[in-house]
Amino acid sequence: MTLVGIVGGGQLGMMLAEAGARIGIDCLTLDPAPDSPASRVGPTIVADYDDETALAGLAAAADVVTYEFENVPVASARFLAERVQVFPPPESLEFAQDRLLEKTLFEDVGLAVAPFSPVSSKEELFEALEVIGVPSVLKTRRLGYDGKGQVRLGSVDEPEDAWRTVGEVPSILESVVPFERELSILGVRGKDGKAAFYPLVQNVHRDGILRVSIAPAPDVTPRLQAKAERHALAVMERLGHVGVFAIELFAMGEELLGNEMAPRVHNSGHWTIEGAVTSQFENHLRAICGLELGPTSPSAYSAMVNLIGSVPPKGSFDDQPGVHLHLYGKASRPGRKLGHATVIGPDADTRDRVLGRVTQTADKK
Ligand code: AMP
């Protein structure tokens, strides 16, 4: 039996552990919260992410260690890597934790990004505004997620407030992109360097948080799919990445701009549990354990709706055919992802009809 250690016990850790149990891979998570989502489905070490005694315990127990969120301290990943195999490699974390490194890497491999400028003081923000202009977004380089750590600038009179709002920390100023839609490409790369990709997914965000994913994204030409895969593969190869990997993209026709990457299983890949031959969670475990990757082809028309802030009462939509509910066991809090529902249909029309009902119910407060 293989034992995988997972740093982080959120819903991604929970779904990794669920997938592992099915294919004979046990998971042990490490999370500071005693009641983390992953603790509902498997054993967990309750400790801080920089607790060296706990990290050493995880390393001693596990055959391979992975992580389920990108803000794991790089020092902890390196500490673990001295004792046990760690996949994805700490380099993937390092690049994903810093928007400046991330964007520079995208550009290096030929994936265009929105015009941006690094900003590390109020004065630099004034200078950057002259180059980038408005509308633009000021984003902290580190620790931003789900729209946190960013503020929009609509006029050049607002920089002082914006600088204060992001906490006066190293940031980047980025042009607002008039995208037609947001897509994400999800890939997985094995230890042998072989990679596989899921079809592009179309994402709708609300208040900076992913709300709905449609998979496969409609109207994707083979050329667009191939282009996204080429970019993702180039980034994974540059990092020596092993495991699942996602890039969020802004799309205008056939043009793609790289926004953000995630060196881990991704929210826009949750549909793969019911909607693909092999889920992203199983494929992540297969990759880091050195197993052959499973097929990534879709098996249905899927959509995923995040349940944010509150969960509709039992039976209000989850008993409909084609709807699969996943609850993470977290306490309600505004803006918090508490669960998701995946809608599966034999065709896009059926899927869209059920999706409409699910989103309507999920929106009722
Ligand atoms: P991020 O944290 O960078 O992924 O941003 C969260 C969401 O905010 C994105 O998915 C977009 O919907 C929106 N957003 C971020 N940056 C930009 C931008 N430069 N132009 C337009 N929308 C953006």
The per-residue pLDDT for range 226-282, each reduced to its tens digit, is 999 999 999 999 999 999 999 999 999 999 999 999 999 999 999 999 999 999 999
Residue 145 confidence class, pLDDT cut points 50, 70, 90: low
Q: Which of 131, 253, 129, 263 is nearest to 186 (CA)?
A: 263
Mean pLDDT of the chain: 95
Are 151 and 165 within 8 A, CB to CB? yes
Model pLDDT for residues 325-345, shown as the tens digit of each residue: 999 999 999 999 999 999 999
Q: Which amino acid is at 280?
A: Q
Of 3-12, 144-153, 258-267, 288-297, the range with the lowest mean pLDDT is 144-153
- Contact (CB, 8 A) for 59 and 5: yes
Q: Looking at the predicted structure, is the pLDDT value of residue 319 above 90?
A: no
102 close to ligand 1 (CB < 6 Angstrom): no
CB atoms within 10 A of CB 249: 27
Tell me how far the alpha carbon of residue 294 lies from the centroid of ligand 1, in angstroms: 31
Contacts of 322 by beta carbon, 8 Å cutoff, 6+ apart: 343, 344, 345, 350, 351, 354
What is the predicted pLDDT for the residue at 364? Answer: 78
d(CA 356, CA 237): 39
- Ligand 1: does its nearest atom lie under 6 Å from the Cβ of 282? no
User: What is the number of the ligand 1 atom nearest to the C-alpha of 145?
Assistant: 2
**344 CA from centroid of ligand 1 (Å):** 27
Ligand 1: centre distance to CA 208 (Å): 7
* Residue 103 and residue 113 in contact, taking contact as beta carbons nearer than 8 Å: yes
Whether the predicted pLDDT of 146 surpasses 70: no
Distance CA 241, CA 192 (A): 11
Nearest CA to ligand 1 atom 19: 176
Q: How confident is the model at residue 160 (pLDDT cuts 50, 70, 90)?
A: confident
Which atom number of ligand 1 is nearest to the Cα of residue 149? 2
Print the SS3 string covering 193-254. CCEEECCCEEEEEECCEEEEEEECCCCCCHHHHHHHHHHHHHHHHHHCCCEEEEEEEEEECC
Band the pLDDT of 317: cuts 50, 70, 90: confident
Question: Which pair of structure tokens corresponds to residue 89?
Answer: 């490699």
Mean pLDDT calculated for residue range 19-40: 97
Per-residue model confidence (pLDDT) at position 148: 72
State percent of the chain over pLDDT 90.
89
Ramachandran angles phi, psi of 76, nearest 5°: -70, -40
Show the DSSP H helices in the chain as ranges: 11-22, 52-61, 74-81, 90-96, 99-108, 122-132, 159-165, 222-239, 272-275, 280-288, 348-363
The number of beta carbons lying within 10 Å of the beta carbon of residue 257 is 18
pLDDT at 365 over 90: no
CA distances from 313 to 106, 149, 212, 231, 304 (A): 43, 32, 20, 42, 18
Q: Give distance in angstroms: CA of 200 to centre of ligand 1.
A: 18
CA of 285 to the centre of ligand 1 (A): 29
